[in-house]
Amino acid sequence: MARRVRAADRLRRVIVLGARGFFGAHAVRLLRAAAVPAVRLARADADAEDRASLRSALHPNDVILDAAGPFQTRSTVLLDVALELGADLVDLSDSLSYARSMRAREDEIAERGIAVLTGCSAISAVAATLVRESAVGEVRRVDAWLAPASRDTATVATARAFLASVSASTWNACDFAQVRGMRVDSGLSVQLPAIWPSLAEAAFWVDPHTRGAAALVELAARSSLVRRAMDAAVPFGLRLARLAGTHDGIFAVRIEGSAGVSRWIIRAPRGSYLLALGPATIAVRRLASGKRGPHGLVPADEHVSAEALFAYLEAQRITVERI
């Protein structure tokens, strides 16, 4: 009698690095709910900066979801190992420096024939999908504002990533949503111009979404001494965020082009962090299933289809509105 082949048996092996962290743990939950038996690897199992431990833990043809932030301090050791093994790599980075490092390896990635989806998260991947859907002609400027669900996402990694990325004490208020953010360095400024050469600027603005935090972050942007002190005080700051933060989240994007302006608001009364995990988990599921798709350093607007992204957001009760 022929053995019945389960769907899981036909899947490529999926590895989640940083699986004990906030985003890694939720990524595992989402993948397993979709019948993808993701293997959890914590730092004790495989350190993303340790070549030997990665070679021991990873296999050829794996699909790797990298949630081991903060990416601002990461090297490209994991990419080196993925290239050696012929493994596909999807990451949740929004680091400007990391995006530049990956872009510098574009030719090498293409030659090896693996798929690398860097910045496959809320900022670059979602914003790029919205730009593509907007059809505003030659894209000239993109502004994205984020007010995160600070009570949910307040972790050491996210807090230190935010502090490391604050570039100036410049604030910008969104003209169509109740969010005002501080300018933050982001992979958005690397990812989007690579797709739309006409783009003059891609700016990312973040509201800490925690009472009292904005003034402290503004000081950190002006003083490296204050920034170092705040970095050391992150554990205390996390307690503040969990007490004074919010459960709701907003992501707003304004796209200006030669044919007009498009405005989008994505809202979640709870669980807005699921927006960040949508593109990556959708992409990992597709790669694990063996479906053909783009390879090389995949442009952010090809990480996930708009149809798949909007269906995922609806299932998570996250609303998408085009103004």
Residue 270 vs residues 30, 75, 153, 228, 316: alpha-carbon distances, Å: 16, 33, 11, 31, 10
Contact 263, 144 (CB under 8 A): no
Q: What is the mean pLDDT of the chain?
A: 87
At 212, the amino acid letter reads G
Burial class (CB within 10 angstroms; exposed 0-12, middle 13-18, buried 19+) of 10: exposed
Q: What angle do CA 49, 50, 54 make, to 5 degrees?
A: 105
Residue 142 has pLDDT above 90, yes or no: yes
Domain 7-121+274-314 belongs in CATH node 3.40.50.720: yes
Confidence (pLDDT) at 150: 65
Burial class (CB within 10 angstroms; exposed 0-12, middle 13-18, buried 19+) of 247: middle
**For range 96-114, the mean pLDDT:** 97
Higher pLDDT pick, 276 / 232? 276
> In the chain, helix, strand, coil percent, each to 5?
45, 20, 35
Contact 240, 210 (CB under 8 A): yes
Q: Which of 240, 175, 170 is nearest to 205 (CA)?
A: 170
| Residue with tokens 């919205």, as numbered in its chain | 130
Q: What is the pLDDT of residues 239-254, one digit of tens each?
A: 665 655 567 889 999 9
Residue 106 has pLDDT above 60, yes or no: yes
Q: pLDDT tier at 211 (50, 70, 90 boundaries)?
A: low
pTM as predicted: 0.87
**Cα 74 to Cα 252: distance, rounded to the nearest angstrom:** 28
Q: pLDDT tier at 5 (50, 70, 90 boundaries)?
A: very low
Residue 4 has pLDDT above 50, yes or no: no
Confidence (pLDDT) at 285: 97
> Domain limits of the chain?
7-121+274-314, 123-268
Higher pLDDT pick, 122 / 292? 122
Which CATH architecture does the domain made up of 123-268 adopt? 2-Layer Sandwich (3.30)
Confidence (pLDDT) at 283: 97
